[in-house]
Amino acid sequence: MNVLSLFDGISCGQLAFERAGIKIDKYFASEIEPKAIKVTQKHYPNTTQMGDVTQVRDGDLSSLQGIDFLIGGSPCQDLSPYKLNRNDAKGLEGSKSKLFYHYERVFKYIKPRYFLLENVVMEKEWEDIITEILGVEPILINSSLVSAAERKRLYWTNIPNISQPEDKGVFIKDIIVPANEVPDKYWYDLPFIYNGDDKKVQCTLDVQKGFQRNMKEVYNQNAKCNTLLADGDGGNRQKKVYQDGRCRKFMPIEYERMQTLPDNYTDCVSDSARYSAVGNGWTVDVIAHIFKGLNGVK
Ligand SMILES: C[S@@+](CC[C@H](N)C(=O)[O-])C[C@H]1O[C@@H](n2cnc3c(N)ncnc32)[C@H](O)[C@@H]1O
């Protein structure tokens, strides 16, 4: 099986093929973020990196012989529900999300036997455009079925018979690093409001600087974390947990576990790059579940 992965990130696709037991002969990746590429090349040095998708021409595509499978999760920044009330929510015409049209271009050029496109839950108008282009209805899967974090995503694929993954009943407490092994830099020494033992947001942490209050959600270990985002740019945006009477940010290894990545998969880059790459990435077990639909297909 030869694969072309657009917007490959840290190559969660390759991990998922491995986990689904599907042998890959050649794997071509289009990605522009050097730190994500570094993670991919550490684990999969045989990956052929093709760079910026907007620069991948028909001639480059015709030289890739026999691509069986096109996969990709095009950037969602302008489609994400978090942006719907903002002026920059331009949908598929937004500067980032319009890169989907390069997926369409490549899809129409190579006519792969199988394809997978992943994206966020979005306004119906934009979802329908993608559905019309790819010719299949998307399947909605929440990663929380297999992991300790929520992640509702749409998957357009022609792999047959995709059911919902089995609910593994995993919560934050199942993936968390014990408090005595967490380095000092992840803990906060800041005032917080305690909301209650039974609350998903067990505390609200006040990370204000100066006069402006800046209250952050701190999750209960008995709950699921909200969707991880590409939060690596500082500003206390990483998700937080309440542990042993204190608040702290999740460690990158815990982000990895919430995406069902192997422990320390991204440890060749800085913490902030790890949070970003993992928050941008796929939940490997969800993708492996979808790919398993290929087993038995002739
Ligand atoms: C939603 S993430 C996909 C992550 C990926 N599925 C993974 O397993 O990590 C979108 C990715 O598209 C990449 N990207 C953005 N612009 C690109 C471009 N012009 N060409 C190729 N990749 C691009 C981003 O760097 C980011 O890693």
Per residue in 37-51, pLDDT tens?
999 999 999 999 999
Per residue in 187-210, pLDDT tens?
999 989 999 999 999 999 988 766
Could you tell me where in the chain the CATH 3.90.120.10 domains are found?
Answer: 172-262
What are the CB-based long-range contacts (under 8 Å, 24+) for 18-21?
A: 19/284, 19/285, 19/288, 19/291, 20/288, 20/289, 20/291, 20/292, 20/294, 20/295, 21/292, 21/295
Whether the CB of 61 sits within 6 Å of ligand 1: no
Whether the CB of 134 sits within 6 Å of ligand 1: no
Whether the CB of 99 sits within 6 Å of ligand 1: yes
What separation in Å is there between the alpha carbon of 52 and the centre of ligand 1?
Answer: 9
Range of 1-10, 205-214, 224-233 with top mean pLDDT = 1-10
Three-state DSSP class for residue 21: coil
Write down the pLDDT at residue 118.
Answer: 97
Confidence band (pLDDT; 50, 70, 90) for 240? very high
Could you tell me where in the chain the CATH 3.40.50.150 domains are found?
Answer: 2-163+276-294
Whether the CB of 36 sits within 6 Å of ligand 1: yes
Confidence band (pLDDT; 50, 70, 90) for 87? low
Write down the pLDDT at residue 76.
Answer: 75
CATH of the structural domain 172-262, one choice from 3.90.120.10, 3.30.70.3450, 3.40.50.970, 3.60.40.10: 3.90.120.10
Write down the pLDDT at residue 90.
Answer: 72
What separation in Å is there between the alpha carbon of 280 and the centre of ligand 1?
Answer: 8
Whether the CB of 52 sits within 6 Å of ligand 1: yes
Write down the pLDDT at residue 204.
Answer: 95
What are the CB-based long-range contacts (under 8 Å, 24+) for 233-237?
A: 233/272, 233/276, 234/272, 236/207
Angle between helices 12-20 and 284-291 (to 10 degrees): 50
Q: Which residue has the higher pLDDT, 266 or 59?
A: 266
DSSP state of 11: T
Range of 123-127, 153-157, 293-297 with top mean pLDDT = 153-157
Which atom of ligand 1 has the smallest separation from the CA of 53? Answer: 20
Say if residue 179's pLDDT is above 90. yes
Whether the CB of 32 sits within 6 Å of ligand 1: yes
| Topology classification of domain 2-163+276-294 | Rossmann fold (3.40.50)
Per residue in 61-74, pLDDT tens?
888 878 999 999 98
